[in-house]
Copies of this chain bind each other. A is one copy, B any other.
Amino acid sequence: MPPAPEDPPGFELPLLLFAGFRTLIDELHAELARCGHPDARPVHGFAMQAIGPAGATASEVGRRLGVSKQAAGKTVDRLAALGYVERVDDPHDARRKLIRLTPHGLDMLNQSAEIFDRLRARWVERLGAERVASLESSLRTVVPATGFPVDVPGWFG
């Protein structure tokens, strides 16, 4: 089926996906700012998700996020300066430095989860549970099944 003239132009789809993503992220951070996390940035959430409650090393974070270990290290520096994580020496391996979430960092992760649930609930209010579930299931079908790194270095920066 070649593109029928009444089809929306193809560039609207990425725009809508981006606008949807960005709307959620903006609302998340507006809400986080009201809950004791005014300096949190989107990248911080991704990085702390990659660190996880069990902790990780900078190299691991880099691999999970699909960026270099140096970039991950710099992000961890900023996270540490904001009090979200701390570095502790690994007694079993003197090279490694375990990055662990502080209580403040854990709080941000928990709050983010709650806020995202509330935001999704608001979409359900406006669209109905079925359409939201359908949207998620459609996207799950078309996005490659990898974890979140899709591996185009510097795709947006």
Contacts and interface: CB of A to CB of B under 8 A. Distances in A.
A113 interface: yes
A99 to B, nearest CB: 20
A143 interface: yes
B155 A26 contact: yes
- Tell me the dominant secondary structure on chain A's binding face: helix
Copies of this protein in the complex: 2
Interface residues of A, number: 60
A129 interface: yes
Contact of A143 (B2, B7, B19, B42): B19
Interface string A120-147: 1101101101011011101111111000
Contacts of A1: 121, 124, 129
A119 interface: yes
A53 interface: no
B150 A19 contact: yes
Given A10-B115, A14-B21, 19 more contacts: A10-B113, A10-B117, A10-B118, A11-B113, A13-B24, A13-B119, A13-B135, A14-B24, A14-B25, A15-B148, A17-B17, A17-B24, A20-B143, A23-B143, A131-B134, A131-B138, A134-B135, A156-B157, A157-B157
